Structure 1
C-alpha cells in the first residue's frame, strides 16, 4: 500500500544501522502519579519482513509484552509512509487489545497503511503541520487473466477493510470509495474536519528513560577512577556568611559526618582524618593521565583526517556505482532483461548487491531480445519476454498477491 517501493530502504535511501533508529519505546511515571506512560515511536515503514525493512507486528508485540504492568497509557508516535495492509490491521488490533488507552500522535506523516493505525486508536492527534494520506490498496501480481481478476477481488476486500476502520472513526456518511480512489491527502486541519483525527496539538511523550528489553547503560565502564567525581559532587561551593567585600581569605566549609566518612573511604584516609587532611589528599592527587593507546591530536590535523576519510568514502561509493552500472549494463547487453527495467534492478542492487547478482546470474541469456519488440503505454521499449522475466523475479523476491 503506497507508492511503489517508497516504503523500503532501496535506491538512494540509506538503510538504518539499527532498529532503534526508527522504532523503540520508553516509559515514565504519569504526571498524576497514578501509573506510568509509555511512548512507542514508529518512525518507519510497516512491513512484515522486519529487520531494517520496517516495523512489524512482531516488533510491536515484543514491546507491548515488555511494558511494565503499571503502564496505563501508550502514546504511539507515527511518522510512516505506510506498508502492508494486513500488518497494519494486526498492529492496530494488538494496540486495541492492550489494557492501556492508546493515543496516536502523527509527528510527520501517517500515509497509506499508517493512517489505518492512526485512525483506529482511542484518540488521534495531529501535530501541527503534519499530513495524513488515504488511498485504495494496490498489489503486485503476475499470472494469467484469471489470476489477475482474483487479485482485483482481493484488493476490493482489502478496501472494504479500510472503509470499515475509517468509518468507525469518522462515520459512514463520507464517500470513502471516492476518497480512496483519489488518493486523498489531508493536512492536520483537514484530517480533523474529515473526522479521522480528534484534534491538533503538541503531545509530550514519556521522555528518555529506559527502553523495554534494552541493555543496561554501560557508558561509565571506561572511567578508571571515580574519586574526583565523588569529591566534586559532595563538596559544596563556599558561600559568604556576611555581606561585604571578600578579603581573599579561605572560608572554612563544614561537612556532615556522612560526607566526611565517604571522602575518607574514597581517599584511603584514616577514620579520624579531619577536613584539612582530606583537602590535602585531594590536592595531592596526581593529574589523570590518558589511558594507553589514547593520544591527543591538533584540531586542524583532525579536521584534515576527517576530510581525507570523507573523500575516501565518496571515492569508494563512486567506484561501487560504476561497478554496479557495468554489471547491470552487461546483463542487459546479454539479453537477461530489458533496458526498460534497468532502474528497478539498480534499486534492487543498491539494497542487496550480492543477492541481486545471484538472481541475475541465474537468468538465461538472450531471453529478452536486444532489438525493440514493441512499445508500452509510455513509449518505453519492452521486449516480448520481459513480463515473464519480471514475474519470475518478483516471485523470487516474495512479491505475490499481498496488498500494500
Structure 2
C-alpha cells in the first residue's frame, strides 16, 4: 500500500498531461506537464511511474523549446524520481519546475534538479533522508544501511549542485527533515523565482530573512562553487585567503570597461581618461601610462604584474600536477577495491561499479571498508522443511528485501 494513499478519495488519479499553451500563454513551443501524484514504480492507481512519465515526455512535439513542470507531489520512490529527473535533463527543451502546492521528498530533488525552479507563493518544499524496508539477517541490515547512506549522498548532491554548499551540509538539512516556504527555498538557493499567484509575475529573489536557525542560512551563507568571496568575513570563516582581484581588473572596473579587457584596451582607456582630466588652460598634458608605470603602481599594493608567457607556464604546470594527482587517486581507488575483492567483501563482477562509485563519492570508501569479509562468498542454504530440493520451488530466500526508499 502506498503510504501517501490512505483514503479512498486519494485513488482519484490525476494523469500526467501534455498540453499546448492556450492564448494567454501563446509563446510557441511551450508545453505543460503536471506531476500531481506520488511517485511509484507500479504506476496506475498507486501513483506516477517513470515509465508513464517518460511515455508522455516522448509524445511532446518536436518543436518543444520549454517544458513547464507543475508539481504538487508528496514524493515517492527514489529511483523512479531519479529516472524522471534524468529524462527531463536529457530532453533538449528547457525545463522549468513550478511548485504549486508541495514538492516533498523525492519530488523535491526533481524540482531542484531541472534548469529552473519557480515556487508559487505559499507553496512548500520538503527535504529528508531516504528510508526503506529490509528483511533478513544482521548482514542484510548492514548492507541496507550502506545502500541508504549512498542514496542520501546522491540526493544531497542534487541540492548542493543547485544551491551550493557541501553534500555534508545538505545531509544535515535532510536529517533535520527541513520544510522550506517559497521565500525560504529562494533564500537557501533552491528556488530561482517566487511567483505571485494573482499577477503571475515573478518577484526578485531576496534573502530578507534571518535564517540562522537553519543549517543553511541562505544562499550567501553557503560555500557556493565558482568565484570565491574575497571579503575578510569569508577568509575568517573558511580559514583560506579569498580571491584578490588583479590590479588590471580593478583599473578596468574603475574605468567602466570589461574586467577581462586586454592590456592594450586598459591602457587606451586610462590614456583617454587622463586626457579628459588634462587642463588645456594650464598647458599641461597627462603622461601616457606604460606597462612599467603599472608595474610600479602594483608594487605599492604588494602586487606583482606577471608576464603572460610565465602565467601560461604556471597554468600548464598546475594542469600537469592535477593530472598526476588524479592518477594517484585512481591508483588508490583501485587498491581499495582490489583489497575488498581479495577479502571477499564484494564479488569481482562488482569491481568497476565500486571504482565508479568511489570516483563520484570518496566517502563511499567507509561503507566499503565497513562491509564484513567473505560477504560475497556464496552460502549454500541447508534446505527448507517440507520442500523437495529436486523440485522447482517458489519459497522466498529469507534474506529477500525490497528497497523502495522514499
Alignment TM-score, normalising by the size of structure 2: 0.48
TM-score normalised by structure 1 residue count: 0.48
Larger Rg over CA atoms: 1
- The structure showing larger relative contact order (alpha-carbon pairs under 8 Å, at least 6 residues apart) is 1
